[in-house]
Chains A and B, each alone.
Chain A
Amino acid sequence: MTLESVLLVSAVLFATGLYGVLSRRSAVTVLMSLEIMFNAVVVAAVGFTRFTVPAGLAAGGAVTAPGARLALTGHAFAVFIIAVAAAEVALGLALIITLYKYRQTADLAQANLMKN
């Protein structure tokens, strides 16, 4: 378990999600793939927090409490990303069900109400 292995896992997850977003027809599956991509980013943020430090801290010199706290910025980002993903999934599912009400399908190829 090194920074590189964490980034490898993150990259594979991100690519998996990207493939799903680009290739699936079902709006629900596309939303699930988006969640996988969000999670890949969270993995990277948490991995960076674990294995890297702000350059100022590594160099040495006087360390203050805010400076030491900022080393946990990755975790704060992870929490924000998870909150945004939760908001996004609520809105996305509402949109999908609205589409389903109008078209009786969750097929993205049929989502052409605004075409022309």
Chain B
Amino acid sequence: MSELFEVSGVVNIMFWAASALAVSAALAVVTVPNVFKAALFLALSFTGLAAVYFLLSAEFVGVVQILVYVGAVSVLIVFATMLVRDMGGASRPVNKQVATGAIIVAALVAAGIVFVGYDTQWTRVEDIESVDSAAALAGTYREVSLVGRSREEAVLVAADASANGAKPGVFADGTGTLGTLLLREYLLAFEVIGLVLTAALIGALALMREPRHDTESARTRRTDRGAA
């Protein structure tokens, strides 16, 4: 079955190009002295990563990446760099020793992740033995209703014996399946994340609000502004 899992050469080249773009833009973010330019490089890095998600057949995550990161987070950060007038000076490293130490720590962490990634025996899509499992993962299945069982308990079998075009890991309807997954298996987490977002935004508003205590100077300042 393993020829099903081959990644085509074009996809390979596009993956490495998008990854190189994302990584080099990320490196620019942590090295350019100008905070505003760093914010623009960050948006570029996010866009490259969105392309990586599309190539990994995570269409929904790619769209969310563009909407939330490129559309909202980057714009928010650009606005913050405009409000905080400390562009050049503050973005240099704390000092030489700290920068060297940071490079060493970062390199060790990266080496650890890569070592674990290569050393672990992952259960890969190529390891799938049964045609039914492969078809279920690719979304090309047929439900076999069992008497007295609910639809959720129905067993999935391959739509046709050869499981034509079945590509495990690449769902035919990934976004639909993800929607069902979020609203069934992860319903609680889904609701809580909405609560977290609301709480965070209310917290941000509370932080940014003008202090309430009415000192004399604050009151005059406000009337001045009203008069102007």
A29 to B89, CA, bound (A): 12
| Chain B window 170-190, contacts with chain A (Cβ cutoff 8 Å), 1 for yes, 0 for no | 110010011011101110010
Residues A28 and B80 in contact, CB atoms below 8 Å apart = yes
Interface code A1-43, partner B: CB below 8 Å = 1, 0 otherwise?
1111111111111111111101111111101110110010011
Most interface-central of A22, A32, A69 (chain B CB within 10 A): A32
| Interface residues contributed by chain A, number (CB under 8 Å) | 89
User: 11 extra interchain contacts, Cβ-Cβ under 8 A, other than A19-B30, A58-B133, A79-B60?
Assistant: A3-B122, A9-B22, A12-B23, A26-B91, A43-B53, A51-B169, A57-B128, A59-B129, A65-B154, A75-B174, A87-B196
| Chain A residues packing against B (C-beta within 8 Å) | 1-20, 22-29, 31-33, 35-36, 39, 42-43, 46-55, 57-73, 75-76, 78-80, 82-91, 93-98, 100, 105-107, 109
- Residues of B near any A CB (own CB < 8 A): 7, 11-12, 15-16, 19, 22-23, 26-27, 29-30, 35, 38-39, 42, 45-46, 49, 52-53, 55-58, 60-61, 64-65, 68-69, 72-73, 76-77, 80-81, 83-84, 86, 89-94, 98-99, 101-103, 105-107, 109-111, 113-114, 117-118, 122-125, 127-130, 132-133, 136-137, 141, 143, 151-156, 168-171, 174, 177-178, 180-182, 184-186, 189, 193, 196-197, 199-201, 203-205, 207-208
